[in-house]
Structure 1
Amino acid sequence: MSDFLIYEQDGPLVILTMNQPEQRNPLTGNSAVPEFLAAIERIHDDRGVRCVILTGNGPSFCAGGDIREMKRQATAEVSEMDIRHDYRRGIQRLTLALFNLEVPVIAAVNGHAIGAGLDLACMCDIRIAADNARFAESFIKLGIIPGDGGAWLLPRIVGMSRAAEMAFTGDMLDAQQALAWNLVSRVVPRAELMEAARELAGRITQHASHGVRLTKRLMREAIHGRLDSVLELSAVFQAIAHKTPDHSEAVEAFLDKRAPRFG
């Protein structure tokens, strides 16, 4: 039985719920990383999955790192190389796995997303915030840096100047400021958060699985690719898409003026 992550599936939709509300759903000092990696591998292997919602139980989305674990790392018994290894084999594996998951991921931010919790939300494709949500790139307040990829992720979402302001001050943003800064795409009342996330997921899952996965992969590659390279990859992906049964069904459904029926 899972200690941290609840995995629920409703047809093409998977809901992942972080479930250590008493500790505000931390990502370290527990089994969070291996459970996330196992869930991501399960989603990769299930081609029927077309969308994922990630959320947290309790008053926080994710509090980031466990402070007690940070205190342990500061002791003389733990070397710099040990800490480096812990990051590379721990939270950084989660960053790469979640960011590269081919299925679209919606972060339903139900409360505080702090430090690595904010970066976790930034690993997702879309962020919806409850009106009580709060966000902070707060590593500087503990005298450390974003060791989980936040320095790469956050500027690509809010821009370099705003990312620098968040990272250099550690200041908290409320949900409305996060919306104004494009950190989230919408803010909804707390009681309506999962309904809004499910509605958005439904608009995604109605489309063909191959098309959704290839589109996300193409967008990921476009982040750091040259235009000519992305165009070449687009031609390859399009050739694959044209030969799928889903494409044939979508075309037939359009011509027949009916909803497509994807396998």
Structure 2
Amino acid sequence: MFETISYETRGKTAWITLNRPDKLNAFTSVMHKEMVSALKEAGKDDNVRAVVITGAGRAFCSGQDLSSSPQGADYGDILRKGYNPMVQALVGLEKPVIAAVNGVAAGAGMSLALACDFRIASEKASFIEAFIHVGLVPDSGNLYFLPRLVGHAKAMELAVLGDKVSAAQAAELGLVTKTVSEEDFVMEVETFAEKLANMPTKAIGLIKRYMNKSWESDLNEVLEYEAQAQKIAGESADHKEGLMSFLEKRKPSFTGK
């Protein structure tokens, strides 16, 4: 079905694997389109209640495949046609998305990880704002997500200096949800994804939608967003199940409805 990625469902979780290990999973225009298609597929499938994005081989994603970019290419046009739709599809997916960072996440590969809702990093993982080393500017939402995760001053430091950040350092900075050993990496990601997939999916989607909106909103707007979201969540089957399980003193069984 796909040429540059693989897509599979494991229980209630969709796994999207960047699959160009010989190129450290570097992005091409084909990969951009396939990522958008895979994210749309995960969004349409009611059985999918969490998404994992990871890389094949020893890298998560090394960024743009510069060898596939024609000389004199309009990078702005490449972003508008390729990267931006991918990031928009990722952020617009109202299901929790986990970046399972198995190795280096550099350049736009780091941007992809930042755009996800959670990041679980192998102890072998690293993050590099590689753009500056080739005289470019962080893109693919990087300048939006990075300062929101680590603060303005640290974001400037990472973006301008372009130093390699280890998994342990990323955890200290709040870049990742947690770091795990290489041996336990897949199991830890599966466990975390399964936990999310069994939670109230509609509520998570609403949290994601309106938390993203909150950055460009004032307090009164956020209060109204919360009221709108709570009306929708309050009418969900999962809310009814949550109430019943509380009253019956049992563990809830959420269906994502």
Q: Same fold (TM over 0.5)?
A: yes
2:8–2:14 CA contact under 8 A, matched in 1: yes
Q: How far did residue 207 of structure 1 move? A: 1.6
Give how far 1:113 is off: 0.3
1:206 aligns with 2:198: yes
- Please tell me whether residue 64 in structure 1 is matched to residue 63 in structure 2: yes
Paired letter, 1:41: K
Q: In 2 relative to 1, CA 217–47 (structure 1 residues): closer, same or farther, beyond 3 Å? A: farther
Residue type of the partner of 1:25?
N
User: Gaps spanning 5+ residues in structure 1: where?
Assistant: none
Alignment of 1:8 with 2:8, yes or no, is yes
**What does 1:77-156 correspond to in 2, within 5 Å?**
78=73, 80=74, 83-156=75-148
Q: Does 1:18 align with 2:10?
A: no
* Counterpart contact for 1:49–1:209, Cα < 8 Å: no
Over aligned residue pairs, what C-alpha RMSD do you find? Answer: 1.5
**Structure 2 CA distance for aligned equivalents of residues 251 and 147 of structure 1:** 44
* Corresponding position of 1:73: 71
Shift of residue 156 of structure 1?
0.9
Number of residues of Structure 1 aligned to a counterpart in Structure 2: 255
Query: TM (normalized to structure 1)?
Result: 0.92
Matching of residues 155-234 of structure 1 within 5 Å: 155-234=147-226
Which piece of structure 1 moves more, 133-142 or 208-217? 208-217
1-structure distance, mates of 2:209, 2:162: 32
For normalisation by structure 2, the TM-score amounts to 0.94
Q: CA deviation at 1:52?
A: 0.9
Q: Percent identity over the alignment?
A: 37
What is the DSSP-based 3-state SS (H/G/I as helix, E as strand, rest coil) of the residue aligned with 1:207?
coil
Q: Which stretches of structure 1, 4 residues or longer, exceed 4 Å deviation after superposition?
A: none
- Residue 212 of structure 1: how far off its partner (Å): 1.9
Q: Deviation at 1:129? A: 0.8
- AA aligned to 2:48 is V
SS in 2 for 1:6: strand
Matched, 1:41 2:40: yes
